[in-house]
Structure 1
Amino acid sequence: MSVDFVEGFRLARVWDEDRAAAECLAAVFADEPEVCDDFAAVSDDVDLVFVADCNGDGSDHLELARPGLEKGVATFVDKPLALTGADARALIRLADAHGAPLTSISILRALPKAELFARRLGEVGEVQFGSVQGGGTAMAGHVHAASLALGLFGNGVESVRAMGETELQMVHLGYGDRADRPRRGVALNCDVGAVWHCAFHASAYGPQGAIHSPPLSDWDFPFGAAAILRIVKEMVQTRRSPAIIGDMLEAVAICEAAREAQATGEPVKL
């Protein structure tokens, strides 16, 4: 496997609530990044802050990103941008208020192999129905499924339904009457059991047949990571937030609506 190297990054500071873990990470890098005692210090005298997927659901991302954003530092927040739409919008407002470029991108949204599959959609004629399988029941996983669906079939989801014996086992995304979106919506099968190397799969159906993606798995994720790094590098250089932040905001809203829909048994409008 050969992934293009993305130049121009140097790890300068690290922090973790477990200092031993931060010291272990710092020891891996030849640049010997400084281990900070306070997460607010990570954003001092740097060009970019990376907020990792800390507790798995994004509920702490607003708190962790705040110091850097208030200093105007460009910030990448690992998926999900936040647990709730309210927190996600608060992050965007905070970034705007301080002129800090901000983005958050699912690796599934940036995979070259997923882009190749999207180019094949015309093979089925007008796409009537789509599906994405994978992600699991945790927010850190099923936000990938939502992001992949938006990347393949388009944004602008109007309604969300959810059902199943486990959390977000089956989610249906409805696009209303939009002629340029799947008329029968898109299904997210998040809880599909054990999968090979964290693989996701996508399918599209239309009057001329069906197409199915190859596995989108650990073997492909490094290529998505490189694509994200190139987007982040441009964000730092231009001091402009990429438009793709809007898709992550919608993905967070989809996941939040799905939780509500499963709890109430009713469809939720976005």
Structure 2
Amino acid sequence: MSLRKIRVGMVGCDLHALYYGVQMERHDPSVLRSLGRGQAAFFYHYLNYNDATRLTSPFVSGFTLAKVWDPDPHAAETASTIFGGKPQVCETFVECSDDVDLVFIPDCNGDGSGHLELATPGLRKRVPTFVDKPLADNLKAARAIVALARRQRTPLLSLSMLRTVPQAARFRDRLQEIAPVGFGSIKGPGGTLAGSIHTISLAQHVFGPGVQAVDCMGPSELAYLHLDYGGRLDRPTAGLMLNCESGPTYHCSLYVSAFSAQGAIHSGQIGDFEFPWGAAEILRLLKRMVRTGRSPFSDEEMLEPLAIADAGRLAQQTGRRVALSEAG
């Protein structure tokens, strides 16, 4: 396609819609700060104490927010107002995929249970589509979204910000200091599937994909997960522990540790103050995807977090280790 701006249809106007929106569309920060969910988006994107109108997170040019929809019409109207009234407020989510170049389905804290329905119209129209994490609430539904995209020969991307945040990449680059890594641990947010998928995505980012089996225990769903890479020498040989139900944390921060016979290394916080850099990287990936017509991630890697979650649920129910091949 030409180098004109990519027209975005935003299917949902939760916090993540505004979080990503302020990094790709011009807006009035004073309006952002004063309206609804915009206050939270403002807090992490405008950090300069002596110039509250200067965006301090990365801005990714080349997009225009063309359409917005939300099941709450007031939320959609508010989002349009934040972006200067330019986005058209749609009456149905189906309209959001008409005459756009990218369908964007944001999801801050949801479980992804509606994503198959929301993604279907755009994919059927062969509009490149981004689905925020989780891709769906279970592996079967996630596979259905991927299968539809394949049938329509339409690029699809679904990622957590934790899969792209550069602060995690810099920690990953330090693993060579203590290689070979024998064991890893991540403190992540618990209580929701969204939080667990964030933690799993950070594990993919730092230690890599390719999980073979999962153990799970704890007082809540997916509270404590042990990921087994099947003895791969380029992965933690004793596995990786994800502590999702591990108490409060500073501004949603996650923390990573790696251990070996050579010692241990520990990350700093990877949280709300770092997430905008992960969001910016996703926007850059989406720009490339729309221009090239190809997804930057494989279907298998996008499906793996849900395969781990489904295997973890079964492991927690049965009290045994569950192979990812049993999931879904």
TM-score by length of 1: 0.97
Equivalent residue of 1:250, what SS?
helix
* Shift, 1:137, TM fit: 2.0
Task: Select 2:170's aligned residue among 116, 119, 125.
Answer: 116
User: 1:166, 1:47 → 2: CA distance?
Assistant: 40
Cα deviation, residue 180, structure 1: 1.5
Deviations 1:10-68 (A, max 9, x none): 11111111111111111111252111111111000000000121771111101100000
Alignment coverage as a number of residue pairs: 270
- Supply the distance in 1 between the matched residues of 2:237 and 2:276 (Cα, whole angstroms): 33
Which of 1 and 2 has higher RCO (CA within 8 Å, sep 6+)? 1
Which stretch shifts more, 210-219 or 86-95? 86-95
Q: 2:70 aligns with which of 1, 16, 30?
A: 16
1:253 alignment counterpart: 307
Measure the CA separation in 2 of the matches of 1:13 and 1:82: 23
| Distance in 1 separating the partners of 2:59 and 2:298 | 22
**1:150 matched residue in structure 2:** 204
Counterpart of 1:5, as a letter, is: F
Letter aligned with residue 38 of structure 1: T
Which amino acid is 1:160 matched to? Answer: V
The one-letter amino acid paired with 1:66 is T
Unaligned runs of 5+ in 1: none
SS of equivalent to 1:143: helix
Query: Would the aligned equivalents of 2:69 and 2:90 in 1 still touch at CA under 8 Å?
Result: yes
Amino acid aligned to 2:175: L
Match in the other structure for 2:92? 38
- Residue 244 of structure 1 and its aligned partner are, at CA, apart by 5.2
Distance in 2 between residues matched to 1:166 and 1:90, nearest whole Å: 27
Question: Secondary structure in 1 aligned to 2:184?
Answer: strand
What residue in structure 2 maps to residue 166 of structure 1? 220
Tell me how far 1:204 sits from its aligned partner.
Answer: 0.3
Equivalents in 1 of 2:106, 2:190: separation in Å? Answer: 19
> For residues 36 and 186 of structure 1, what CA distance do their matches in structure 2 show?
44
Q: 1:82 aligns with which of 107, 120, 136?
A: 136
Kept in 2, the 8 Å contact 1:69–1:100? The answer is yes
The alignment status of 1:96 with 2:141, answered yes or no, reads no
- Of all paired residues, the percent bearing the same amino acid is 52
Superposition deviation, residue 166 in structure 1: 2.2
Which structure 2 segments of 5+ residues have no match?
1-46, 48-55
Contact 1:12 1:31 in 2 (8 A): no
Does 1:130 pair with 2:184? Answer: yes
Shift of 1:231: 0.3
**Where do 4+ consecutive residues of structure 1 move more than 2 Å?**
1-4, 244-248
Question: Partner of 2:33 in structure 1?
Answer: none
One-letter amino acid of the structure 2 residue matched with residue 190 of structure 1: C
- The one-character-per-residue Cα deviations of 1:153-196 (angstroms, maximum 9, x if unpaired) are 11110100101122222100001121211110000000111110
Distance 2:264 2:176 in 1: 10
